[in-house]
Amino acid sequence: MAVFAGRRPTGEIYSATLGKQYPERDWILTRILWLSGLERGRNRMGNVDTFRRYIYMHGSPDNLIRGIPESHGCIRMRNEDIAWVFDAVDHGTKVYVSEEDQFPPSLP
């Protein structure tokens, strides 16, 4: 699993040993899908601009996937899942993010 910092590969390969060596790191692994909001003046070019705050969907060590909001605003995913999503979607694909287990009636 490739390790990223500043959206660039570090050359490191994640392992449990590396994780124990640097327990404070917010691990970004495998792939990055950088998100951009759709609500002008709010999460796009507003106070909580998703893109400018570097909010991603990204791989993470499996032991850090807990199903609860944490991290720095990113969506942590299992590495196999983010690799699949990365290969399955095109640039510009709309992603609906919600704490609810449901799909929206329609996206803007």
Per residue in 45-67, pLDDT tens? 888 888 888 888 999 998 887 66
Q: What phi, psi does 75 have (nearest 5°)?
A: -105, 110
| Residue 29 contacts residue 57 (beta carbons within 8 Å) | no
Eight-class DSSP state of 55? -
Average pLDDT over residues 87-97: 87
- pLDDT at position 103 is 57
